[in-house]
């Protein structure tokens, strides 16, 4: 099928300006907010890549120090905390599915009836547990004499995990904003759905970054 030009006959038919404008409106374009978020997350990838580079550079120059200090890490506790964050990503996506159905709230009893707000509340709760777990781990390590200024290992550990914790905290704030917006609007529409999807992009991103950090810091000792 060829391209029709307004007012010009094509295959025996004349395309009028009205039908042409309808065709133009029918073309689906990527949402600029979603595209902008993906581009911004690309810059965040570069940021964390720099942190990984710092970590591996310090590790290569202080292999003995790494072997000694990593013994202080509580791997089982960190594994449980990681599972909690992964589960929050699952519940976040369930909230996105509800938002795509334009269902902000639950429509009845049972988890299957939950809307975006209920799923995002659970994601917020799990994310808050993860951050609290990291704070507890920091307090434990400091009590054992490993503060951020103790040695290069401590600096690399606190910088990489600390910046990630700040990003998770930003995601928690985003959850609250999306939930508040769902309560504020009269009709849950496409804009609210897009906001929920964009927040899920960010949350899945911090989840994947933590999985990489967890593998590098807690297993590749």
**Same domain for 156 and 191?**
yes
CA 22 from chain center: how many Å?
A: 37
**Same domain for 150 and 163?**
yes
Q: What is the Cα–Cα distance from 181 to 93, expressed in whole angstroms?
A: 18
- Give the CA count within 13 Å in the CB-facing half-sphere of 190: 3
**Same domain for 82 and 2?**
no
The pTM of this model reads 0.80
**Same domain for 25 and 10?**
yes
**Same domain for 154 and 204?**
yes
**Same domain for 150 and 81?**
yes
**Per residue in 136-160, pLDDT tens?**
999 999 999 888 888 888 888 999 9
Count of structural domains within the chain: 2
**53: containing domain:** 31-219
DSSP letters of 48-66?
HHHHHHHHHHHHHH-HHHH
**Same domain for 11 and 65?**
no
Q: What average pLDDT does the segment 103-114 reach?
A: 85
Confidence at residue 31, expressed as pLDDT on a 0 to 100 scale: 64
**Same domain for 171 and 200?**
yes
**Same domain for 114 and 125?**
yes
**Per residue in 38-73, pLDDT tens?**
776 677 778 888 888 888 888 888 777 887 888 889
């Amino acid at each position: 099928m060829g391209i029709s030009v307004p007012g010009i006959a094509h295959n025996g038919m004349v395309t009028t300006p009205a039908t042409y404008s309808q065709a133009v409106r029918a073309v689906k374009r990527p949402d600029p907010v979603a595209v902008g978020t993906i581009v911004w997350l690309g810059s965040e990838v570069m940021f964390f890549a720099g942190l990984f580079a710092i970590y591996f550079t310090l590790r290569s120059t202080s292999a003995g120090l790494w072997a000694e200090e990593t013994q202080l890490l509580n791997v089982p506790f960190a594994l449980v905390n990681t599972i909690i964050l992964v589960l929050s990503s699952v519940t976040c996506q369930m909230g996105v599915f509800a938002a795509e159905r334009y269902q902000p709230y639950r429509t009845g009893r049972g988890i299957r009836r939950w809307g975006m707000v209920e799923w995002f509340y659970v994601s917020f709760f799990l994310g808050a547990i993860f951050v609290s777990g990291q704070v507890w781990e920091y307090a434990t390590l400091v009590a054992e004499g490993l503060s951020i200024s103790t040695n290069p290992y401590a600096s690399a550990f606190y910088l990489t995990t600390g910046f990630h914790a700040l990003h998770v905290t930003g995601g928690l704030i985003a959850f609250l904003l999306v939930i508040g917006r769902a309560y504020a609007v009269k009709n849950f529409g496409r804009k609210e759905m897009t906001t929920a999807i964009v927040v899920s992009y960010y949350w899945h991103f911090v989840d994947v970054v933590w999985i990489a950090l967890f593998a590098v810091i807690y297993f590749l000792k």
